């Protein structure tokens, strides 16, 4: 285990007096929150505004991916409702509009991922439109609470997705990378590690590809899309299936390919933001995978102060560094993690301040990193944030 080095405080900028993070989010932005819950996951994607079909009013919905504790995500949802960033129910400002939480994903039934899932589903009831979980039976109390909460909402859409499933939610495309159906078919033999049942996701924004002008429409390449890979606790075996399910396709520059407008190939796993799987455990990622993703931002959710498993593991940290900044041939040292875009929820500044949760604001071809200054047990306030000034 190597605890992250404190980051120079002058690489951050406080919110200007009287401003809130809300003032720095445009209607077309997607905001990814990776919450500081210690060695666990709690994530929320605040989707760009979309006009409601019945009223025409632009509203935002959210996707929740894991809820390790009963408080963190509900408190964040409360903040978003309070400032009007999430569609509120007309009946009560503290309850989201029916369906405003478009999707809840319980990546796998470990307590540090679904410890607060039962409470979340019970609290928001009809505000949640759809729930995914991998279908791995677990005997833990949190699993029973989650399934009971699902049972109590018979209107809730339920699915067990496997790799390749794509779901478009407004202007965001969600693709399931893992688990492969080959793994899911083995869950009940106990032949698959529970971490490898994890649902990992690729989130692409914007998903729009057709520009409509009067009665004409045309396809655009959308070269400025932003993609995130949310790695859950997926480990090497499951990533191996993902790497074959989503091969890197070589581009073709041939005249025939151009004439036919065939797909010229790309690497579907290439992504700007990676939520590093399994808290940067040595089993969570491998070099080839991170080389393919080539993330500009690698975000690790871990206490980095020891814990039972001493996350993050030095092996994983080193391979992320080597994947995004190869040095084997030159023999030079890697720069600091923050210069490589590698950050931890347990980060501190050189003056001792805790940096805590992330809010990544993603717009057209731009990305802004905010830190929410919270501890694992504290709630997030949108009025307290520091902006990362690095590249």
Partner 1 sequence: MEFQQRAAGVDVSIEASVGERLWLSGVVESPVEPTAGDSYVVVDESDEGVLEIVVASWPKLDPLGRLAFSGRRRTVAVSEAELSEVLDRRRQRSGETKRPVRIGDAFLVRGRVTNSPSKWPQIVDVTSFARAHAKIAFHAAVAPRTTVREAKALKLDSPPPAPEVPVPEAANVALPAV
Binding site for partner 1 (CB under 8 A): 110-112, 115, 135, 137-145, 147-148, 150-152, 154-158, 186, 189-191, 193-194, 281, 283, 308-309
- The enclosing H or E element of 170 equals none
Residues 232, 235, 237, CA angle at the centre, nearest 5°? 135
Instruction: Return the number of the residue (308 or 391) whose C-beta is nearest partner 1.
Output: 308
Smallest gap, in angstroms, from Cβ of residue 174 to partner 1? 19
Q: At what angle do helices 117-124 and 141-151 cross, to 10 degrees?
A: 20
What's the rounded Cα separation, in Å, for the pair 358 and 301?
10
Give the three-class secondary structure for 68.
Answer: coil
Smallest gap, in angstroms, from Cβ of residue 133 to partner 1? 9
Instruction: Return the number of the residue (147 or 203) whose C-beta is nearest partner 1.
Output: 147
Selection from 275, 290, 305 nearest residue 39 by Cα: 305
Smallest gap, in angstroms, from Cβ of residue 348 to partner 1? 24
Selection from 262, 306, 269, 265 nearest residue 288 by Cα: 269
Instruction: Return the number of the residue (111 or 243) whose C-beta is nearest partner 1.
Output: 111
Query: Do residues 29 and 363 make contact, with C-beta atoms less than 8 angstroms apart?
Result: yes
Instruction: Return the number of the residue (127 or 362) whose C-beta is nearest partner 1.
Output: 127
Smallest gap, in angstroms, from Cβ of residue 87 to partner 1? 21
Selection from 388, 297, 286 nearest residue 340 by Cα: 297
Smallest gap, in angstroms, from Cβ of residue 39 to partner 1? 10
Helix ranges (H only) for 201-313 are: 236-245, 255-260, 287-293
CB atoms within 10 A of CB 336: 14
Smallest gap, in angstroms, from Cβ of residue 376 to partner 1? 13
Selection from 337, 272, 325, 270 nearest residue 300 by Cα: 337
Task: Report in angstroms the alpha-carbon separations of 120 from 47, 123, 266, 363, 378.
Answer: 19, 5, 38, 28, 17
Instruction: Return the number of the residue (30 or 128) whose C-beta is nearest partner 1.
Output: 128
Cα 293 from chain centroid (whole Å):
14
Smallest gap, in angstroms, from Cβ of residue 4 to partner 1? 21
Give the three-class secondary structure for 288.
Answer: helix
Selection from 94, 80, 89, 101 nearest residue 383 by Cα: 80
Instruction: Return the number of the residue (111 or 171) whose C-beta is nearest partner 1.
Output: 111
Instruction: Return the number of the residue (29 or 39) whose C-beta is nearest partner 1.
Output: 39
What's the rounded Cα separation, in Å, for the pair 61 and 10?
34
- The enclosing H or E element of 2 equals none
Smallest gap, in angstroms, from Cβ of residue 320 to partner 1? 19
Smallest gap, in angstroms, from Cβ of residue 183 to partner 1? 10
Residue 217 pairs in a beta bridge with 212
Instruction: Return the number of the residue (102 or 373) whose C-beta is nearest partner 1.
Output: 102
Instruction: Return the number of the residue (89 or 153) whose C-beta is nearest partner 1.
Output: 153
């Amino acid at each position: 285990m190597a605890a992250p080095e404190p980051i120079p405080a002058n690489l951050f900028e406080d919110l200007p007096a009287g401003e809130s993070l809300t003032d720095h989010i445009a209607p077309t932005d997607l905001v990814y929150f990776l919450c500081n819950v210690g060695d666990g996951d709690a994530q929320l994607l605040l989707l760009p505004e979309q006009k409601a079909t019945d009223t025409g009013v632009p509203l935002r919905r959210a996707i929740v991916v894991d809820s390790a504790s009963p408080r963190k995500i509900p408190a964040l949802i409360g903040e978003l409702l309070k400032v009007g960033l999430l569609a509120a129910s007309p009946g009560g400002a503290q309850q989201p509009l029916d369906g405003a939480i478009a999707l809840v994903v319980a990546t796998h039934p470990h307590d540090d991922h679904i410890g607060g899932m039962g409470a979340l589903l019970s609290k928001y009831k009809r505000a949640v439109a759809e729930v995914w979980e991998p279908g791995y039976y677990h005997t833990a109390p949190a699993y029973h609470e989650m399934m009971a909460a699902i049972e109590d909402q018979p209107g809730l859409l339920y699915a067990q997705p496997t790799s390749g499933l794509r779901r478009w939610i407004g202007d965001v495309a969600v693709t399931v990378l893992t688990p492969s159906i080959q793994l899911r078919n083995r869950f009940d033999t106990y032949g698959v590690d529970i971490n490898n049942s994890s649902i990992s996701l690729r989130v692409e924004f914007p998903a729009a590809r057709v520009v409509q002008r009067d009665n004409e429409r045309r396809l655009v390449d959308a070269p400025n899309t932003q993609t995130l890979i949310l790695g859950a606790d997926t480990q090497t075996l499951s990533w191996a299936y993902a790497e074959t399910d989503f091969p890197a396709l070589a581009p073709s520059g041939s005249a025939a390919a151009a004439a036919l407008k065939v797909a010229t190939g790309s690497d579907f796993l290439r992504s700007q933001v990676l939520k590093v799987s399994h808290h940067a455990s040595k089993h969570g990622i491998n070099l080839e995978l991170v080389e393919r993703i080539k993330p500009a931002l690698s975000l690790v959710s871990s206490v980095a102060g020891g814990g039972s498993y001493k996350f993050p593991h030095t092996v994983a940290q080193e391979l992320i560094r080597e994947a995004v900044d190869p040095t084997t041939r030159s023999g030079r040292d890697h720069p600091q993690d923050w210069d490589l875009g590698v950050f931890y929820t347990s980060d501190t500044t050189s003056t001792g301040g805790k940096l805590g949760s992330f809010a990544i604001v993603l717009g057209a071809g731009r990305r802004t990193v905010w830190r929410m200054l919270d501890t694992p047990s504290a709630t997030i306030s949108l009025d307290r944030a520091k902006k990362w000034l690095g590249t």
